[in-house]
């Protein structure tokens, strides 16, 4: 009889600092964590995205540039508690960072708008003879390609401007 060796797999969620998580909400971080836990086997998730899995699946959390938060060493009840706590803290910090970024961005946009800075693509000005070009095009005297060339715009922009032009003309 051939001896059978038991293969033990260990999973470790490795993070390189909290800055990676700054674009995620707390729920997104926990959801990603739970997806990793689920991929290791079947596990029942709780409705409030609680951290199940570090105890059942033996998943560790390791933050590379923070050796204090490496839970690979403590495999007992305290180690799993620390793993859950570390993930909760990291996801909380990520959520706060995301909210701070949004606040600063909103403040910057408000200041820029107060200074009169315009956002988005620059508006394409219509040529002075746009009405005449449209009239000639509608009577089939001018091909669309020529109208687009004279107006210096794409076909989609032309049709959008044509719609706006007709609305203004109706009023």
Per the model's pLDDT, the better-predicted residue between 21 and 49 turns out to be 21
- Confidence tier at 157 by pLDDT (50, 70, 90): very high
What integer pLDDT is reported at residue 47 of this predicted model?
41
Residue whose entry in the numeric block shows the structure tokens 């390609």: 145
| pLDDT at residue number 12 | 56
d(CA 78, CA 68): 14
CA-based angle 72:75:76, to the nearest 5? 150
pTM for the model stands at 0.47
> For tokens 């949004």, what's the residue?
102
Q: How does DSSP classify residue 15?
A: E
Sorting pLDDT into bands at 50, 70 and 90, what band is 36? Answer: low
Quick one: CA dihedral 99, 101, 104, 110, positive or negative?
negative
What's the pLDDT tens digit per position in 95-152? 888 899 999 999 999 999 999 999 998 888 889 999 999 999 999 899 999 999 999 9
Quick: pLDDT tens for 14-33.
Answer: 555 544 555 666 666 667 66
User: How high is the pLDDT of residue 88?
Assistant: 79
| H, E, C per residue of 27-89 | HHHHHHHHHHHHHCCCCCCCCCCCCCCHHHHCCEEEECCCHHHCCCCCCCHHHHHHHHHHHHH
CB burial readout 43-82, b (16+ within 10 A) else e: eebeeebebbbbeebbbbbbbeeeeebbbeeeeeeebbeb
The residue with greater pLDDT, 103 or 55, is 103
- What are 58-82's pLDDT values in tens digits? 566 666 766 656 667 666 677 667 7
Residue 10 has pLDDT above 50, yes or no: no
Q: Give CA–CA dist 121/45, Å, rounded.
A: 45
**Which secondary-structure segment (H or E) carries 14?**
strand 12-15
């Amino acid at each position: 009889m051939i001896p059978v060796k038991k293969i033990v797999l260990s999973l470790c969620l490795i993070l390189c600092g909290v800055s990676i998580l700054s674009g995620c909400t707390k729920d997104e971080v926990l959801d990603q964590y739970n997806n990793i836990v689920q991929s290791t086997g079947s596990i029942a998730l709780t409705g409030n995205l609680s951290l199940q899995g570090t105890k059942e699946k033996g998943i560790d959390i390791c933050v590379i540039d923070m050796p204090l938060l490496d839970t690979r060493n403590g495999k007992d009840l305290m180690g799993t508690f620390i793993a859950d706590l570390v993930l909760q803290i990291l996801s909380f910090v990520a959520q706060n960072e995301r909210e701070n970024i949004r606040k600063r961005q909103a403040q910057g946009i408000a200041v820029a708008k107060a200074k009169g800075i315009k956002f988005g693509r620059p508006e394409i000005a219509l040529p002075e003879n746009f009405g005449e070009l449209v009239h000639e095009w509608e009577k089939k005297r001018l091909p669309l390609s020529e109208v687009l060339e004279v107006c210096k715009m794409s076909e989609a922009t032309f049709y959008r401007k044509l719609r706006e032009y007709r609305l203004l003309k109706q009023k």
